Amino acid sequence: MTIDITTLALTNIALTLHDDGVLVATLNRPAKRNALDEASIEDLVTLFSTIPRAGVRAVVLAAEGEHFCAGLDLVEHHQADRSPAEFMHLCLRWHEAFNKMEYGGVPIIAALKGAVVGGGLELASSAHIRVADASTYFALPEGQRGLFTGGGATIRVAGLVGKARMIDMMLTGRVYQGQEAMDVGLAQYLVEGSSFDRALELARAAARNLPLSNFAICSAISHLGNMSGLDAAYAESVIAGVVNTQPDARARLEAFANKTAARVRPTD
Ligand code: 1HE
């Protein structure tokens, strides 16, 4: 049974579902720069656990206000005075949410602006595509706050920029923005206008693919990357066996064969 995603009761995320199956999920705590408190993390767990069963074809992860996300809610963390075990369990909820995003099989396009810092960068790096605009900047200020990453940056941010750059970002508070952020791999798109508009365009394009192809792209590539080369090649062929023979692909293959399908051309 398909779930109606718009009926989810979320505290800090607003949802808008478009006709083409694109869901816009907007972080909605701008007064706190969309800092991730416990309620926000539970929202992300609920949302991204449900999306794969809700017929959603692609997601735009957007933010209200000037900043995408200021990371861990430092005030809540300070006031809660958490024990090591409590914080470990909180981090496991972050991982639950972010793993659901990366491995969930539904394309997630992050529309970035302003601060994408600390846990905000961990969140952004769990999306499949990151779109930055002129205001977007990336940093890992944990080192300066007396903290360490706990939401997967050592895996995902290091995966994007490499270990040496991540260590530099954490030791020195280095901020990346603009073309340099693109060059080191923090974003795949840098736009002059609104990152939201481009993210929506990209989500709409992805939503036109068959869901099973997108499932493999937004789940299998990450899983295969965790395996040995030998096992990944084996698993890839099993996945291709399922995806590349899907009945829904027949019409697309037929269109190519009878020359009515668009050809791949260089862009202008
Ligand atoms: C917050 C947070 C937050 C803002 N937790 N409340 N993250 C950081 O170290 C980033 C900390 N934040 C900042 O550096 C700045 O706030 C921003 C660059 C994001 C935005 O600056 P600005 O001038 O627009 O806003 P502001 O005046 O600093 O803050 C506005 C409000 O947002 C204010 O609340 P108010 O009630 O006093 O109005 C701030 O307290 C609140 N706010 N950021 C809580 N992060 C799993 S481990 C992950 C480890 C981490 O993520 S470390 C966190 C890194």
Q: Which domains, from first to last, does the chain contain?
A: 5-207 (3.90.226.10), 227-257 (1.10.12.10)
User: What is the residue type of 52?
Assistant: P
Average pLDDT across the chain, whole number: 97
Q: What share of the chain in percent tops pLDDT 90?
A: 99
What's the rounded Cα separation, in Å, for the pair 114 and 175? 12
Q: List residues bridging with 7 in a β-sheet.
A: none
- pLDDT for the residue numbered 268: 82
Res 1 pLDDT > 80: no
End-to-end CA distance of the chain: 44
Q: Using most ligand atoms within 8 A of CB, pick from 28, 33, 75, 125 the residue to mutate for ligand 1.
A: 33
Q: Is 93 exposed, middle or buried, given 0-12, 13-18 or 19+ CB atoms closer than 10 A? A: middle
pLDDT tens, residue by residue, 93-107: 999 999 999 999 999
Q: How many A from CA of 10 to the centre of ligand 1? A: 22
Dihedral of CA 116/122/123/127: which sign?
positive
- Does ligand 1 have an atom closer than 6 angstroms to the CB of 63? no
Q: How many A from CA of 100 to the centre of ligand 1? A: 25
Q: Is 94 exposed, middle or buried, given 0-12, 13-18 or 19+ CB atoms closer than 10 A? A: buried
- Does ligand 1 have an atom closer than 6 angstroms to the CB of 149? yes
What the block records as the tokens of 70 is 């200021």
Res 38 pLDDT > 80: yes
List active site positions.
Answer: 122, 142
The answer to whether the CB of 200 falls within 8 A of the CB of 22 is yes
In 3D space, the residue among 124, 101, 102, 109 whose CA is nearest the CA of residue 50 turns out to be 101
In 3D space, the residue among 76, 87, 5, 16 whose CA is nearest the CA of residue 46 turns out to be 5
In 3D space, the residue among 113, 95, 114 whose CA is nearest the CA of residue 41 turns out to be 95
- pLDDT for the residue numbered 261: 96
Q: How many A from CA of 143 to the centre of ligand 1? A: 15
- pLDDT for the residue numbered 2: 80
pLDDT tens, residue by residue, 190-239: 999 999 999 999 999 999 999 999 999 999 999 999 999 999 999 999 99
Q: How many A from CA of 33 to the centre of ligand 1? A: 6
pLDDT tens, residue by residue, 50-77: 999 999 999 999 999 999 999 999 999 9
Residue nearest to atom 15 of ligand 1 (CA): 70
- Does ligand 1 have an atom closer than 6 angstroms to the CB of 150? yes
Mean pLDDT along residues 33-46:
98
